[in-house]
Amino acid sequence: MKIATNKFVSVTYDLNVGEGDERELMERATPEAPLNFIFGAEMMLPSFEEKLKGLKVGEKFNFTLSPANAYGEYKEEHVIELPKNIFEVDGKFDSEMVMEGHTLPMVDAEGHQMTGSVLEVKEDVVVMDFNHPLAGETLHFSGDVIDVHNPTVEEVTELMAPGCGCYSNGCEDGGCCGCGA
């Protein structure tokens, strides 16, 4: 069976970022913890799926995605200063959660969910980066297709759960996304 729309797909891969000899291993999906997704269900980057389309179990893949075909270029305008008081819980700044290096789920004024990384905590503001962590990076995938089949109801239910998939920003633990997040 070939990878096609609405098929359950399971792959192993290494994701390296960077150029030439400067590539760094960013993520790995192993046989024990493969990337599982429903092809064509907007769970993965469209360019990632396009590279896998038509492959069968046992076939290998090795491809590169430019920033334009992955998470876009890094944009300085996505780094903003937010008033420190919006991070208060019961009138007190949440210094345990809001610290440099932490990634926080947030909601904008229109109710859109997003994820931001804390770059710096200043006296009156918190500097947040709302770029995808892999924005501006060239992604190099190499791996193997280990399963392709018609999904069961249980597999669809599990994989389509709220918070799963590349466009949801709900993969902070790395458990279901596998899309370079």
In the chain, domain spans: 8-71+134-159, 76-129
Same fold flag, 8-71+134-159 and 76-129: no
Residue scoring higher pLDDT (159 or 83): 83
Assigned CATH topology for domain 8-71+134-159: Chitinase A; domain 3 (3.10.50)
Q: Is the entire prediction scored with pTM above 0.75? A: yes
pLDDT at 178 over 70: no
CATH number given to 76-129: 2.40.10.330
pLDDT, averaged across the chain = 88
Written in H, E and C, the secondary structure of the chain is CECCCCCEEEEEEEEEECCHHHCEEEEEECCCCCEEEECCCCCCCHHHHHHHCCCECCCEEEEEECHHHCCCCCCHHHEEEEEHHHHEECCEECCCCCCCCCEEEEECCCCCEEEEEEEEECCCEEEEECCCCCCCCCEEEEEEEEEEECCCHHHHHHHCCCCCCCCCCCCCCCCCCCCCC
pLDDT tens readout for residues 1-26:
999 999 999 999 999 998 877 899 99
